[in-house]
Amino acid sequence: MPLGAPGPGQRTAPSVVALGGGHGLSASLSALRHLTDRLTAVVTVADDGGSSGRLRRELGVLPPGDLRMALSALCDDSEWGRTWRDVLQHRFASEGSLHQHATGNLLIATLWDLLDDPVAGLDWVGRLLGARGRVLPMAAVPLDIEADVLGLVPGDDDAPTSVRGQVAVASTTGRVTAVRLVPSDPPVRPEVLEAIAAADWVVLGPGSWFTSVLPHLLVPALADALTSTAARLCVTLNLAVESGETDGFSAEAHLEVLAAHAPSLRVDAVVADPVAVGDPHALSEAAADLGARVLLRQVSLGDGTPRHDALRLAAAYRDVFGGSYGDVDPRGAPGGP
């Protein structure tokens, strides 16, 4: 069966909402586009570094970088789409103020200035790319991430320190224990809530756990939409821990943090690569506490780098959407007795 073909009893491709940001969301979108074009990306808007941070501070706009990356992942698979994707992702190298600005960030900011509507601007870029889906911002205003971090006070590893800003949280040398958003109750565009309400599946992760994945669950309107939707929820775990954010985290610890930040969230499925799972039984138990089943599949490129293979991840999502979990042996490899 081709990856994009409907499964038994399924007359149309599923409607899917993917939540996240940065490279993690790009990975899930690159996979999901093989299964459906009824696809909406809801993207975090807390980035305060690089080109995005500069435009955010100078123009007062949403940080466009993660939105740009999501659009690029959904580009039409033609010479036209791939060329415009490369234009969006191109960065200038200069000795002046344009250094390291991404062309796509400038294009998105230009459309926002002309149209005075962030969603309309993103839709226009999507049309230019022939995007297989739609990209929406998580909130209608820029957000800041604030975290409680342990291990930053000399001589007292248990003393909490408040760290603010996505770049600062992502690069901290301490241990992140909790995150929150500023403002704590930001406005959310109705298009986001409508997409979640109409979805068959919502996919959360992979990505930077505290700065790209969890923030979606901290926006009250989004959290309410996720707990009230009839859509099923699939959590995709990372292939490796991230220095600072999740140093020393087990696979099941990611789910425990998820439950701590969103105790009312119901999860139906967890996708993980066996090489990233130390104890498959512990992961299964943590998933069961959320109401979920675990699908263990090789979803990495297999070259030793923590990068997802789009086709392997698409096949894993197809199995989850079709309820084909298969057996998992005690060592964590699929296809056990």
Q: How many CB atoms lie within 10 A of CB 161?
A: 13
CB 291 within 8 A of CB 268: yes
Which runs of consecutive H residues, i.e. helices, occur in the chain? 22-32, 50-59, 65-73, 79-89, 103-115, 118-129, 166-170, 190-198, 215-218, 220-228, 251-261, 280-289, 310-322
Q: What is the pLDDT of residue 47?
A: 95
pLDDT tens, 296-332? 999 999 888 899 999 999 999 999 999 988 644 434 4
Q: What is the pLDDT of residue 3?
A: 58
Q: What is the pLDDT of residue 248?
A: 85
Show Cβ contacts of residue 129 under 8 Å, excluding neighbours closer than 6 positions: 71, 72, 74, 75, 76, 81, 84, 85, 88
Q: Is 70 exceeded by the pLDDT of residue 238? A: yes
What confidence tier does 79 reach under pLDDT thresholds 50, 70, 90?
A: very high
pTM above 0.85, yes or no: yes
CB 146 within 8 A of CB 181: yes
The one-letter code for the residue type at 96 is: G
Closest CA to 249 of 241, 257, 258: 241
Output the average pLDDT for the chain.
Answer: 91
Q: State the pairing for strand pair 175-182/144-150.
A: antiparallel
In degrees and rounded to multiples of 5, residue 320 shows phi and psi of -65, -50
**Cα 57 from Cα 48, distance rounded (Å):** 8
3-class DSSP assignment, residue 198: helix
3-class DSSP assignment, residue 135: strand
| Size of the chain, expressed as the number of residues it contains | 337
Cα–Cα–Cα angle for 281, 284, 285, rounded to 5 degrees? 90
**Cα 293 from Cα 314, distance rounded (Å):** 18
Closest CA to 41 of 191, 151, 243, 178: 191
What confidence tier does 23 reach under pLDDT thresholds 50, 70, 90?
A: very high
Q: What is the pLDDT of residue 71?
A: 97
Token pair in block for residue 260? 């701590």
